[in-house]
Chain A
């Protein structure tokens, strides 16, 4: 299966700990998007990355959140010093390029619970 792979599927952290969420895009895809889904809400854009490059991080909180997509390996969304409000489902999506046919292919999500 060459789909978008996210891990872990479920992650439990205590307040103040760090959470690292990983995303491997579909084969042949070089663009990655991270979205956050809070209960009863839609998908909120966080960050858009290309290999070794952050294209748009306008949806990322200014503090504690960071993302990277290195030349080798998966994209990582990192949340430092987690708080209860960070509990959410985090979805990663990938696409071939910026101006391609348009659809994003999503992973199954990583569900973060902060105790």
Chain B
């Protein structure tokens, strides 16, 4: 069984502040993917990033960066210089793969980010 915990229910920041969304996971599988999805007010889920358990290299994409630390089972997401358009609910998810894995993605409860102008 796996579990994804996003302890922050809601974060409120002012535009241009940096913000980090936390994600902690539990799994017995040795091979898995981790994801972040964004759900803007319009409701659709937008895929942001995938990391696999073999690759702990951090990644940066524009104002977004992700910090994967297997030792602490965390996959945190940082938005630099936040903008109002970043306001959304952000979901972290885990999906095992490999022999015997369930392949079913498990999602956290989401963190609602509100960026004020």
Decide: A41 near B33, CB < 8 A? Known: A99-B103, A107-B44. no
Contact check, B104 vs A103: say whether CB atoms are below 8 A apart. no
Which residues of B lie under 8 Å from residue A104 when comparing CB positions? Answer: 47, 105
Which residue of A is nearest B52, CB measured? A102
Contact check, B43 vs A102: say whether CB atoms are below 8 A apart. no
Complex CA distance for A91 and B47, rounded to whole angstroms? 14
* Most A C-beta atoms less than 10 A away, residue of B35, B44, B47, B91: B44
Contact check, A103 vs B35: say whether CB atoms are below 8 A apart. yes
Contact check, A45 vs B91: say whether CB atoms are below 8 A apart. no
A57-71 with Cβ < 8 A to chain B: 58
Q: How far is the CB of B71 from the nearest CB of chain A, in Å?
A: 22
Q: Indicate which residue in A48, A56, A105 contacts B47 across the interface (CB closer than 8 Å).
A: A105
Which residue of B is nearest A45, CB measured? B104
Which residues of B lie under 8 Å from residue A103 when comparing CB positions? Answer: 33, 35, 47, 50
Q: How large is the interface on A (under 10, 10 to 19, 20 to 34, 35 or more residues)?
A: 20 to 34
Contact check, B44 vs A108: say whether CB atoms are below 8 A apart. yes
Which residues of B lie under 8 Å from residue A107 when comparing CB positions? Answer: 44
Q: How far is the CB of A95 from the nearest CB of chain B, in Å?
A: 9
B96-110 with Cβ < 8 A to chain A: 97-98, 102-110
* Most A C-beta atoms less than 10 A away, residue of B98, B106, B107, B108: B107
Which residues of B lie under 8 Å from residue A93 when comparing CB positions? Answer: 45
The proximity string for B residues 46-58 relative to A, scoring 1 for CB distances below 8 Å and 0 otherwise, is 1100101000000
Contact check, A102 vs B95: say whether CB atoms are below 8 A apart. yes
Which residues of A lie under 8 Å from residue B45 when comparing CB positions? Answer: 43, 91, 93, 106, 109
Which residues of B lie under 8 Å from residue A111 when comparing CB positions? Answer: 43
Which residue of A is nearest B103, CB measured? A98
Contact check, A33 vs B105: say whether CB atoms are below 8 A apart. yes
Contact check, A109 vs B109: say whether CB atoms are below 8 A apart. no
Which residue of B is nearest A35, CB measured? B107
Decide: A42 near B44, CB < 8 A? Known: A102-B33, A102-B97. no
Decide: A102 near B35, CB < 8 A? Known: A33-B105, A42-B110, A91-B45. yes
